[in-house]
Amino acid sequence: MSLLRLTFLGTSAAQPTLHRNLSGLAVKADADLLLFDCGEGSQRQMVRFGTGFTVDAVFFTHFHADHYLGIIGFLRTLGMMGRTEPMRLYGPPPAKRLLHQAVHLGLESLAFPVEIIEVKDGDVMRRDGYSIHAVGVDHRINALAYALVEDERPGRFNLEKARALGVPEGPSFGKLQKGEAVTLADGRVVRPEDVLGAARPGRRLVISGDTRPCASVVRAAKDADLLVHESTFSDDEQERALETRHSTAREAGRVAREAGARRLVLTHLSSRHDTDPARLLAQAREEFKGPVEVAFDGFTVELPLRD
């Protein structure tokens, strides 16, 4: 996997504002396009920010209305666009009941199959070159975070070593880079470890969903390239954060620090911080000394490959 890019479709908590839509995050992982949550209006944001509609799967963090009602219209739009490929929808229970209602709302049936898969803490969904891990979190209802974990990548190809061993340039180079041994014309076998350096770690992206700060997210975000964490409230709203099982920006910064994450992006902002999230940013930065940003609708992050 070479490309790993996030586009924030909605960054507001509970209700849309003039500047921020409800929760939605598009992740482009090479050829795959994934959605994490699909709040009302997400499909318009996808048009607005140019993500395209060729979504392979949708992962719901939980089923408060602001995180999933957008899937109703989105599926209908895909049907009108002539989609025939299956769509998979993942989420914690009661995903099957709620999403079944969403899929079958209205008189017309969809022209493409929709598979609804309930997932729980510890479940892993394998995809080409990476996996999605479900992580249980602490919210008012059954909820999940998700960790996108890229497979370990082969070490760097040593061109000079390959030439010195007599490997002909062309397809044989490609086979070795893919981890396949090559037999030379004289019968000698050149193995990948003969020409490749040490394996390189893959990237790790963690999306908290709605949650109180919790140890499970700290574990999932250990050495993560990016932690996307909800930061609904500021310090002076701590009591409200406890009551609603959300996090403050300071608490999000603390989670990132304890995890040793490399970068933190704050999202899911209360309307109180809609146009001026400076306090949230300052409070998170007091806890986490790495790069911290507050997401806005249309904010795009591309995660570089690790060396």
Report which secondary-structure segment, H or E, holds 125. strand 124-127
Residue 44: how many other CB atoms lie within 10 Å = 15
Bridge partners, residue 147, by sequence: 133, 206
- C-beta of residue 284 within 8 angstroms of C-beta of residue 266: yes
Active site residue 66: yes
**Which pairing describes strands 226-230 and 182-183: parallel, antiparallel, or unpaired?**
unpaired
Distance of CA 62 to the CA centre of its chain: 15
Question: Which residue out of 37, 56, 66, 276 is catalytically annotated?
Answer: 66
The packing angle between helices 249-259 and 278-287, to 10°, is 30
d(CA 272, CA 268): 11
Dihedral (Cα; 174, 180, 184, 190), 10-degree rounding? 110
Query: What six digits make up the tokens of 230?
Result: 């909800």
Residue from 5, 6, 11 nearest 24 by CA: 11
- Give the total residue count for the chain: 307
Provide CB contacts within 8 A for 206, sequence distance 6+: 135, 145, 146, 147, 148, 217, 220, 221, 224, 226, 227, 228, 261
State the Cα–Cα distance between residues 234 and 284, nearest whole angstrom: 9
Which residues are catalytic, by number? 66
